[in-house]
Structure 1
Amino acid sequence: MHVQRFQAEGQSPSFTVVDEFGLPVPEIEEYLKYLRQTASPNTLKAYSRAIARWFEFLAPTNHTWLDFPTTFFGNFLQYLSTGEGNQVRALHPSSTVWLSSASVQQHAAAVSAFYTYHADANGLTTAYNKLHFRSSARRAPYQGFLTGIAPTGRTTKLAYSIRSGNKSRQPILRIEQVHQILEATATTSHNPRVTKRDQLLFTLLWETGMRIGEALNLTHQDMNTGQGETPFVDVVPRKEHPHGIRGKTFIPRRIYISDELENAYVEYLWELIDAGIDLDIPNVAGHYIFVNVNKAPLFAPMRVESVYQRIRAIRKHTPELPAFTPHWFRHTHATALLLAGTQPHVVMRRLGHTDVQTTLNTYGWVTDDAEMQAWEGWKNVTETWRGL
């Protein structure tokens, strides 16, 4: 079995699992069809891979996905971590690197969700019960005001837990490193349009805390240049990006931006107009902001791979920079806000988290870190950011 990528006309890329004859596996495809209604292409790919590995694990044992010993799931998780746990062929025979605890957890969650779906949709509870046990609360559970009216959730847990170890702190950039990256956008490209685009992208990620998928999905109509009022950008959840790029959540939000970021956008927009985007693209306002400006197809939406290509060029030119990714700007943005004294609920809304506890669990450590607090300039940096 292997994961197969496909893309229907006019739709985002998706994934399924096919057998040795190249045909979709019916029970897996049924679940993935349900999952496509809400999940991103990246989630679909990860879940497809995890379920395919589970089926591969079962295949040499002559057990089916509905009939297997309870211990097999524990063996499967151990196998993913160490390569040991069952007399089956290796998933990656040429590799000695096995999956991290976080990846094993993701595989467990995917297989659990697969069986949960079939238990709820098709009544196949026997296999579901092999992976889960009924949890018992030590005290009476909280009774909400919808008790007896709303459907109750499952009170079961996975039979095998995975130790995730200590959560590592999110990697961040120093303020001077952010400036180095922005300066390097000019020295690593001889094309002024590439420079303007990259400076806008990295400044946007740094000042707004957007995810890279959210940024690449922005259209020109999402940018409000102020016209005498405070400029802002609307983060609009979209699924139709031709390269399957999308944000993690579907909660729209508005982020007020600085005059500097507004000016960077206007300068980049004029570069696009000088290049003739209004002649090639009928509806510029509804077109993506970040596009190809130095290669064919001209003005086509930018790929994530192109962003990482530019990052590699910047790091080659500035080797003292860490091996950063676009998501480091989001971590740095949240860190700067919290160390500047911004209220956590404001940071929550700016990042697009669904609750403030997520923000505190992810970034709350920075306010207790003496070394982080000693880094200079956090408050000065955030002074020009709006809507705080």
Structure 2
Amino acid sequence: MTDVCDGRMLRVAVIGAGQAGLSAAYYLAARGLEPWREFVVVDANEGPGGAWRHRWDSLTLDRAHAIHPLPGAPLETRDPTEPANRVVPRYFGDYERRFALPVLRPVSVTSLTHDESGFTVHTGRGPLAAASIISATGTWDSPYLPHYPGIERFAGRQLHTHDYRSAEEFRGQRVLIVGGGTSAVQAVQELYAHGAEPVWSTRRAPQWTRRAFDAEWGLSVEKSVAARTRQGLAPLSVSAATGLPLNELYAPDITAGLLVSRGPIVRFTERGVVLDGPGPDGAGKPDQGEADALVGATAPLPGRAVDDGWDTPIDTVLWATGFRAHIPHLRGLGTRERSGGVVMADDGVTVVKLPGLFLAGYGASASTLGATRAGRKAAMAALRVTQERAAAAA
């Protein structure tokens, strides 16, 4: 990085080259900032694609959440059966080249420091100085792993969807899938199709909904998530607020008894899990929310009744429990609240406690649609800050 580490001050440094980071870079260039001399994007990945390059091969376009186009480059109609981890990196790479975006990779950011002159981005390849920072690091590198009693005793395999690659390796195993989002229900279906025996566990009734996942719905979800970040609370993932679409992709498997939550985890044993839901015979089910009327007979789970639930043996735990905002590089800046969140302004991108620092893809914008809009907002806000500072110094 010698070309940008020669002591001069960049106007803006963007951290992350996913949807939000590339959107921000596009608008910075479109508003006249000179790539490499006035702004750069640093990315920890080996190549384009952001978090999408790490998704499992079986996550095809027709099974992924909507992938919204980047500004200035429509996403052409693609084969819906092609893996998203190929389509999106190809699209992002073409985008970077088309608009000559100044992306440095692989560059891992370890921390940020700040003084009256601006920010220093500390990386594995040296420091980088900038008057303003757009942090667009998303959530992929911070998978959330909840704790349950007895988990330290469990002798089987555990993995998060962050590390999930193929259902084939679980053939013949009984796999506990933990989580209430679409990644959990899709894992149940995929594991079953590949000869595994999935057992689905949720903390509460699955949040099935018949509501159309349209623009109006998306805005209402973003508003509910943004309300937390304005208070400095740790953001819930957008996916946690969306619910599960009760549509033709899932309804048949609900009726067949496959996509039926067996209730919350009580505790783990050395070789299994105790669930509060199957009842005294192992065939029961707790409330399934909107899907309750669709559920047919459920097969009994192997195992035995114990004082606090139903003990069923399992081989593997797949934690489909989502992700948290990946912002460890903000430690030391004094922006984090005790709750773990960052107080955000009404625009959703401005960090209230530290002028010049902007978060895109954080909280309400942790979705492809929200990330694109947040990238634009952050770019415009960063430009205003650097212009104001330049005017004050003149």
TM-score normalized with structure 2 length: 0.21
- The structure with the largest helix share of the pair is 1
Structure label with greater radius of gyration: 1
Write 1 or 2 for the structure with the bigger share of strand: 2
If asked which structure has higher relative contact order (CA below 8 Å, sep 6+), I would say 2
